[in-house]
């Protein structure tokens, strides 16, 4: 039942008790020799498909343009480059999940604990004022989500796989087989009040697993781009992208422009190349994406965090305790900072705020940590202040 959501299954069970993609099957994202041929918006896929040895994906980004990802001979590429309707030709390179190498962290306390990042950004203050994110749709564009996790299953909605799920956890094609996507999902939107595990920045938004990274945490430009396109075409509010590459992709940028124009708030991890300067990775470096750097619990910039003028906001990313397949663990990285902002974006958009207005409010209400603009952007995420509540309770949680 790939098109039936986990939430629909749970609701159906409760009632009874009285209570992919454009193209073909998903494939591995491991090494390949594929090219992506970018076409003008008004052109047909046919000319590029006709000279391809094989086609992996066709991508339609509306007025932005089109693209065909596949295998082409050198002669075919030379002919395509000479065609004035071909905008670009690029390698179908890889993007990767972005966990860092921060200090180890502790586990949670018995029962439900409050992660330090949720507390430090005053998301718990928002919770106390009834803000849950209910009604918002947050897409975790990553390795998938553990749909059976007790802290996530009530919030998990539709998913889509663009790479193959492998292993024993593949209840759905979009299930997580790596842990990374599940960890990010818990930060953004773990349930609150179930007396176990953790709570997220949002707690009742609908989570959508858009599986573009495989079991090794890697995915091709064309798969990531198609995942972003899919989020836009579903009308979902937020795309959380804890992934990146050191080199850019016009195809991913086109997908970002298409999604942003359709109202999606695109949040991306800045990268884990620190200490460094002017080193924000892609897609975070593109103007359509909110680039998020990482801080530690003492409000310092995480040592691994990439920095640069593209950074818009900082969020907790060092030693963050969250959900993994079948349990909980502590990870560090701008991957962990990113879903804090995605969860806050869900809170705003649940209240009817547009993606552009949400982006502005997140920055305008950030807390200045005294770091450089290239390190913190506008400052540290402040969920309560962004939603109009008192933000003086800057605690550090209990996990």
Q: Which residues have a catalytic role annotated? A: 142, 180, 335
Within a 10 A sphere around the Cβ of 360, how many other Cβ atoms? Answer: 14
State both tokens at 194. 């179930």
Q: Are 71 and 54 in contact (CB under 8 A)?
A: yes
C-alpha to C-alpha distances, 266 to 83, 168, 228, 355, 378, nearest whole angstrom: 32, 31, 9, 8, 17
Find where tokens 């913190």 sit.
376
């Amino acid at each position: 039942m790939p098109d039936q959501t986990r939430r629909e299954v749970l609701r159906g069970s409760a009632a009874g008790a009285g209570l992919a993609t454009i193209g073909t099957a998903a494939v591995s994202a491991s090494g390949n020799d594929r090219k992506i041929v970018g076409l003008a918006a008004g052109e047909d896929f046919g000319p590029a498909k006709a000279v391809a040895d094989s086609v992996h994906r066709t991508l339609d980004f509306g007025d932005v343009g089109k693209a065909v990802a596949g295998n082409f001979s050198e002669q075919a590429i030379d002919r395509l480059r000479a065609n004035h309707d071909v905008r670009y030709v690029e390698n179908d390179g890889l993007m990767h999940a972005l966990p860092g190498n921060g200090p180890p962290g502790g586990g949670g306390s018995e029962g439900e604990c409050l992660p330090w990042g949720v507390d430090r950004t005053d998301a718990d203050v928002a919770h106390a004022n009834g803000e849950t994110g209910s009604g918002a749709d947050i897409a975790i564009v990553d390795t998938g989500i553990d749909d059976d996790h007790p802290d996530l299953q009530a919030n998990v909605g539709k998913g889509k796989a663009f790479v193959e799920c492998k292993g024993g956890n593949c209840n759905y094609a979009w299930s997580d087989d790596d842990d990374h996507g599940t960890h990010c999902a818990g930060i953004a939107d773990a349930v609150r009040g179930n007396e176990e595990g953790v709570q997220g920045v949002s707690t009742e938004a609908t989570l959508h697993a858009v599986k573009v990274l495989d079991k090794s945490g890697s995915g091709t430009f064309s798969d990531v781009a198609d995942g972003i396109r899919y989020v836009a075409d579903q009308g979902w509010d937020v795309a959380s992208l804890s992934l990146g590459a050191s080199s850019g992709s016009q195809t991913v940028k086109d997908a970002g422009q298409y999604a942003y124009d359709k109202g999606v708030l695109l949040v991306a991890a800045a990268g884990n190349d620190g200490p460094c300067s002017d080193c924000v990775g892609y897609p975070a470096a593109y103007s359509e994406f909110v680039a998020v750097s990482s801080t530690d619990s003492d409000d310092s910039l995480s040592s691994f965090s990439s920095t640069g003028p593209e950074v818009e906001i900082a969020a907790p990313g060092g030693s963050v305790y969250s959900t993994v397949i079948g349990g909980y663990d502590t990870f560090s990285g701008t991957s962990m900072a990113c879903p804090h902002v995605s969860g806050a974006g869900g809170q705003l958009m649940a209240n009817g705020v547009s993606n552009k207005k949400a982006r502005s409010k997140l920055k305008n209400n950030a807390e200045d940590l005294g770091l450089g603009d290239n390190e913190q952007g506008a400052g540290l995420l402040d969920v309560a202040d962004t939603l109009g509540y008192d933000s003086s309770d800057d605690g550090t949680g209990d996990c």
